Amino acid sequence: MNLMGQGIEEASPDGLHLHLLSVSQAVLEGNRTPETNKALVAIYLRAKECSLARQELVMTIVGCAYLSQRMSPGGLGVRESDFFELACADLEALDSLHTSPLRLYPLLHDYYRSRNDEVAAAAIKAEMKERLSGIQIDVSPLLALPFIVAYELGELDLMRSVVDNLCRRYATDPHLEETVSNAAIYTSSPMLLDCLPAELKQRSLNRPEVKLLMALHDKDSTAVLRAADFLATDKSYDSLCRSYCVAEPLFRYLGLDHETGHFINGCWGSMYFWEASFADQLIEWLPAGDGRKKLLLTFLHFVCIDLPADVVKELAELFEENPSYDSYLELPSTAFEVLDPQIFARFLVDAARMSPDEEFYFGDDDWSWDRFIPALKVFLQTIEPVEREALEQRLEGWGVPVHPTLSQNLAGMSLPDDVRNALAVLEGSLASLEPAQLPYLQLALTRIAGAVPDLVSPAVSHDVSIAAYNKLITPRYLTKVGEDRMRKLAKRYGAAGVLRGIEALMASSGFDSQADNAFDALSMKLVELQGTLQPRRAYLAGVLRKRLPKLNTHWLDQQVVEAMKRGVDIEQMIELAKVVTSWDMWSDGIEDLRPY
């Protein structure tokens, strides 16, 4: 049963604190709801009504309101934000020293949200700096908030001053050393360890995570490798991960423990994983070689910076030494520029053979298959046809473009490399040739293009056109009737003409390849691409003039234009004109004509 908010009206100060704990835990666990907000407001009002607004209680209300704000994707609403300000005003009325550091809460939250906006972040940092300058660290009841704000502002001396105060104030706390060690690691500031008493400092320096911190600070690559290797292989050491830390009064009241207490909450906190804390620095300072290759995959998930070329190469080598789908997923897009195509091709085929039921997916918009498809095709050709076809289907289902897409085919990707390279050179030469040279280039290309039709048989022309159209409308395909219609188009326009029409159709806005009229749209596009066809229209008029009396050319032009809009080809009209014996027969016939 959900008891959130029940009994608040009669609660004592201690009871209100228990209600606050309930709200705090709900918020920390991600269960912030309208009920938690109502309960928080009710607690505050009860404290006001009963003159129970003792400092700790109001302070806790402020902290809980902040947590509610930070844990909510949309932040606090206007009324809740006003409530936060009201609670802070109550603290000021009590002359509470908590007020100034607590007012850093929303600023810190806004700064984290605005880091990608340089202007907004700079304005927030300026306000944080102003508020921070008004806090007397020696008497401030809260130290963690000023510490983390000082860190974000790069105020190293102030960070050290805060930790000095922490060590004096909590000298007998059993978790002081862990707290300072974690703070030093979180901020990459080993000088903070000097604030610890000698015995505690030595204990800290003996910790594996701190040894790695010191090695990175000293830029000692050998020591960095040794410390990182120990952390990755020896799991018996006393880890700082999730360790207990000093809990200042506010956070004790909020119920924050070592699992939920963290710097991002504005309190002293522990590191999560050593890999997350040191990943970016390890990329920079681990020496290249087998030692780094061995460790890379342990912390790669946590790296936030761009990987250097030598690290990318080592990741590619790791994959090549032991290809697997898991190691494939670890590869950054830049690794595919150096990965061995033959090894990757063999890996793909082996995966398709050994894991036929797995739901793998390969490919990414950040890298191209161009380096790998030729090697994959060569390898597939060594396999028996029946198995090869099954493997190709499986790989296609996983996103591997074994067969070029229609767009790639139309762009010439299926042509041999030397032909594609030659075409690229020709295309690139357009900008460098003199204007007077371009007509000669056009003449040469026209001569080459003119020789092609004699080299393409009708059967090949039909097959190419049908295959391209089937790719256009996939997963649908042409029926027998549709194939017959496509043969007529191929006979009329040639395979290259059909391909040109398909390419133009794909670029048309509003074209739907799955619509029932897709074929008619292609016919109409092919007619459109022919232009006005004035010579053939004049020929049509001549045929009709010989066969029928009193030709009205304006009326005929209207009929021809309307028929072409329907996708009827001029040659279909010419064939009709050759057999008609009256104008009525012509009019009825042209109305009945349909696209190829």
- How far CA 255 is from CA of 23, 25, 26, 312, in Å, comes to 10, 7, 11, 44
What integer pLDDT is reported at residue 165 of this predicted model?
Answer: 96
Tokens of 259: 């699992």
Of 90-94, 284-288, 477-481, 502-506, where does mean pLDDT reach its minimum? 90-94
What integer pLDDT is reported at residue 252 of this predicted model?
Answer: 63
What's the pLDDT band for 564 if we cut at 50, 70, 90? confident
Does 481 score more than 70 pLDDT?
yes
Tokens of 586: 């012509």
User: What's the rounded mean pLDDT across residues 316-333?
Assistant: 89
What integer pLDDT is reported at residue 7 of this predicted model?
Answer: 66
- How far CA 337 is from CA of 292, 315, 317, 519, 547, in Å, comes to 21, 12, 12, 41, 68
What integer pLDDT is reported at residue 72 of this predicted model?
Answer: 46
Distance CA 241, CA 409 (A): 54
Of 174-178, 203-207, 452-456, where does mean pLDDT reach its minimum? 452-456
pLDDT 10s digits, 396-444: 888 888 887 788 788 887 788 788 888 888 888 888 889 899 899 889 8
pLDDT 10s digits, 141-183: 889 999 999 999 999 999 999 999 999 999 999 999 999 999 9
Q: Which one has a higher pLDDT value, 49 or 328?
A: 328
User: What's the rounded mean pLDDT across residues 203-220?
Assistant: 95
What integer pLDDT is reported at residue 13 of this predicted model?
Answer: 67
User: What's the rounded mean pLDDT across residues 6-33?
Assistant: 66
What integer pLDDT is reported at residue 159 of this predicted model?
Answer: 96
Taking the CA atoms of residue 277, residue 283, residue 285 and residue 290 in that order, the dihedral angle to the nearest 10 degrees is 120
Own/partner contacts of 151-160, CB < 8 Å, gap of 24 or more, are: 151/186, 151/187, 151/189, 152/108, 152/111, 152/125, 152/128, 153/125, 153/128, 153/129, 156/189, 156/191, 158/132, 159/187, 159/189, 159/192, 160/191, 160/192, 160/195
SS3 108: helix
Does 112 score more than 60 pLDDT?
yes
Of 263-277, 320-334, 381-395, where does mean pLDDT reach its minimum? 263-277
Peptide bond into 475 cis (omega under 30): yes
What's the pLDDT band for 344 if we cut at 50, 70, 90? very high
Percent of all residues in the chain with a pLDDT value above 70, rounded to a whole number: 83
pLDDT 10s digits, 123-146: 999 999 999 999 999 999 889 999
Are the beta carbons of 290 and 202 closer than 8 angstroms? no
Distance CA 319, CA 324 (A): 7
Q: Is the pTM of this model over 0.75?
A: no
Tokens of 537: 């229209």
- How far CA 582 is from CA of 358, 490, 551, 561, 578, in Å, comes to 68, 31, 11, 20, 11
- Residue count of the chain, please give it: 596
Are the beta carbons of 96 and 290 closer than 8 angstroms? no
User: What's the rounded mean pLDDT across residues 500-515?
Assistant: 86
Percent of all residues in the chain with a pLDDT value above 90, rounded to a whole number: 29
pLDDT 10s digits, 352-379: 998 877 878 887 777 888 888 889 989 9
Share the mean pLDDT of the chain: 83
CB count within 10 Å of CB 495 equals 22
Tokens of 494: 């040639």
Which run of H or E residues covers position 407? helix 406-410
What integer pLDDT is reported at residue 195 of this predicted model?
Answer: 97
What integer pLDDT is reported at residue 57 of this predicted model?
Answer: 57
Residue 185 half-sphere exposure toward CB, CA atoms < 13 A: 31
Does 279 score more than 60 pLDDT?
yes
Does 501 score more than 70 pLDDT?
yes
Does 261 score more than 80 pLDDT?
no
What's the pLDDT band for 54 if we cut at 50, 70, 90? low
User: Domain extents for the chain?
Assistant: 8-196+246-270, 456-530, 533-592
Distance CA 121, CA 115 (A): 6
Does 240 score more than 70 pLDDT?
yes
User: What's the rounded mean pLDDT across residues 10-28?
Assistant: 68
Does 53 score more than 60 pLDDT?
no
CB count within 10 Å of CB 126 equals 11
Distance CA 106, CA 122 (A): 15
What integer pLDDT is reported at residue 78 of this predicted model?
Answer: 35
What's the pLDDT band for 75 if we cut at 50, 70, 90? very low
What integer pLDDT is reported at residue 11 of this predicted model?
Answer: 67
Are the beta carbons of 269 and 245 closer than 8 angstroms? yes
Does 253 score more than 70 pLDDT?
no
What are the residue ranges of helices labelled H in 50-191?
A: 55-71, 78-93, 99-102, 104-113, 118-133, 144-153, 156-169, 176-186
Which run of H or E residues covers position 295? helix 290-299
Are the beta carbons of 325 and 351 closer than 8 angstroms? yes
pLDDT 10s digits, 519-546: 888 888 888 887 767 888 888 888 898 8
- In three-state form (DSSP H/G/I as H, E/B as E, the rest C), the secondary structure along 18-48 is HHHHHHHHHHHCCCCCHHHHHHHHHHHHHHH
